[in-house]
Amino acid sequence: MTAVSKQVQVQLGDRSYPIYIGSGEIQRADIASHICGQKVLIVSNETIAPLYLELVEKQLAGKQVDKVILADGEQFKNLDNLNLIFDQLITSHHDRKTTLIALGGGVIGDMTGFAAACYQRGVAFIQIPTTLLAQVDSSVGGKTAVNHAMGKNMIGAFYQPQAVIIDTDTLSTLPDREFNAGLAEVIKYGLIVDADFFVWLENNLEALLNRDQQALAYAVELSCISKSRVVAADETEQGVRAILNLGHTFGHAIETFQQYKDWIHGEAVAAGMVMAAELSVMAGDLYSADLARIKNLLTACSLPIAPPSGMAADDFMRLMVRDKKVLDGQLRLVLLESLGSACVSDQFSTADLDEMLNKTCISV
């Protein structure tokens, strides 16, 4: 059966936009219809450009298409590399009607979005995400940023794209480790808002791991539906949007502890989601049988379900105070009220938190 194209709408009033999802979507979606001017700047990196840049360029016949190919890696998501995008825009005389296209994973998407938010006080941009993580999370919802030497995503803006074009074929070249890390974010949606989707993931994991196109398109669509609903309810994270960060408080502590050198983001989030789930069981909200199901599903995706060895409870406490969800010095955590329902809480028991951290960090 031929994989069909799906469309999800992010409902944000006059800033609403479509997400196109499917196999071959770069060729099928009418990219040019989302571009109002004559000039386009494609931002990509040295890994992705040789694979997909030509395909995107072919859809832009008749436009002036300029390119910036950045070095590959989280360490290049900074103001210096952002400046390379501005250099190219100014050198090639791009005006306010220009459109930037982000072709890549979350690093390229976040940087291009932020460049679009800043250039001449805001120009249009389109997301063409090529990692699973970017397709189900970072390309949707308008969080854009670069890192500062003292903190991840510290300089950024909420700035929505004109459209998101998700071509699931691009996942065929994604390394297994990156693919599995993206699955952690897919599982997250089952945990926070959609218990039926969690069951679907349990029953269809083999097809997903084999990158079956129909299974992939369905999982990406359901993830985008969940994310777009949460974003529509709380675009700038004044409240409910924080549930999208399930596992991230613990996960960011792990990434910082490892100085971003060992585990990749989705791996740290996987271990962090289990830690949040453990705490939810201790609070009497989540069934232990459901915690076991969460661990089984993550393990089947070759994802970690406990903190890395060498990390102690004190390391978590020290690093978690820097979390962006800390308000007035009070740590807030995303917890599970049940499988498929999450809340943000500062009412957790600190004794439970200590006990959970000491229990899960036993390998130290």
Residues that bind ligand GLY (CB under 6 A): 137, 141, 143, 241, 244-245
- Torsion of the alpha carbons at 340, 343, 349 and 355, rounded to the nearest 10: 40
Element (DSSP H or E) covering residue 41: strand 39-45
Nearest to 352 by CA among 285, 268, 299, 295: 285
Task: Establish whether 94 is a catalytic residue.
Answer: no
In angstroms, what is the minimal distance from the CB of 237 to ligand GLY?
6
- Identity of the residue, 209 or 331, whose beta carbon is nearer to ligand GLY in the bound complex: 331
Task: Establish whether 93 is a catalytic residue.
Answer: no
In angstroms, what is the minimal distance from the CB of 311 to ligand GLY?
23
Q: Give me the catalytic one of 34, 265, 295, 332.
A: 265
- Identity of the residue, 77 or 325, whose beta carbon is nearer to ligand NAD in the bound complex: 77
Q: CA-based angle 102:256:77, to the nearest 5?
A: 25
Task: Establish whether 245 is a catalytic residue.
Answer: yes
Q: Give me the catalytic one of 39, 143, 295, 332.
A: 143
- Torsion of the alpha carbons at 81, 85, 90 and 95, rounded to the nearest 10: -150
- According to DSSP, the residues that pair with 156 across neighbouring strands are 145
N-to-C CA span, the chain: 51
Residue nearest to ligand GLY (CB): 244
Contact of residue 104 among ligand GLY, ligand NAD, none (CB under 5-8 Å per partner type)? ligand NAD
- Identity of the residue, 170 or 249, whose beta carbon is nearer to ligand NAD in the bound complex: 170
In angstroms, what is the minimal distance from the CB of 1 to ligand GLY?
32
- Identity of the residue, 123 or 181, whose beta carbon is nearer to ligand NAD in the bound complex: 181
Nearest to 219 by CA among 290, 166, 298: 166
- Identity of the residue, 40 or 145, whose beta carbon is nearer to ligand GLY in the bound complex: 145
Q: Give me the catalytic one of 39, 77, 94, 248.
A: 248
d(CA 101, CA 59): 12
Q: CA-based angle 16:196:21, to the nearest 5?
A: 40
Nearest to 69 by CA among 36, 30, 101, 93: 101
Contact of residue 26 among ligand NAD, ligand GLY, none (CB under 5-8 Å per partner type)? none
Q: x/- binding map, residues 264-293, to ligand NAD, per CB under 6 A?
A: -x----------------------------
Nearest to 167 by CA among 22, 59, 30: 22
Q: How far is CA 42 from the centre of its chain?
A: 20
Structure-token match 């990158």, residue found:
211
Contact of residue 307 among ligand GLY, ligand NAD, none (CB under 5-8 Å per partner type)? none
Task: Establish whether 28 is a catalytic residue.
Answer: no
- Identity of the residue, 234 or 355, whose beta carbon is nearer to ligand GLY in the bound complex: 234
**Footprint on residues 59-98 left by ligand NAD (CB under 6 A):** 72, 74, 77
User: Using CB under 6 A, which of the segments 101-109, 212-220, 285-293, 309-317 binds ligand NAD?
Assistant: 101-109
User: Using CB under 6 A, which of the segments 166-174, 193-201, 276-284, 314-322 binds ligand NAD?
Assistant: 166-174
Parallel, antiparallel, or unpaired for β 6-10 and 17-22?
antiparallel
Q: Are 333 and 345 in contact (CB under 8 A)?
A: yes
Tokens encoding 275: 């830690």
User: Using CB under 6 A, which of the segments 35-43, 102-110, 190-198, 348-356 binds ligand NAD?
Assistant: 102-110
Task: Establish whether 83 is a catalytic residue.
Answer: no
In angstroms, what is the minimal distance from the CB of 266 to ligand GLY?
12
Query: Which residues have a Cβ under 8 Å from the Cβ of 30 and sit 6 or more positions away?
Result: none
Task: Establish whether 241 is a catalytic residue.
Answer: yes
Q: Are 113 and 102 in contact (CB under 8 A)?
A: yes
d(CA 294, CA 287): 11
Residue 173 makes contact with ligand NAD by CB under 6 A: yes
Contact positions toward ligand NAD, by CB under 6 A?
45, 47-48, 51, 72, 74, 77, 104-108, 110, 130-131, 133-134, 137-138, 141, 143, 153, 170, 173-174, 178, 265
Catalytic residues: 121, 143, 185, 227, 237, 241, 245, 248, 252, 265
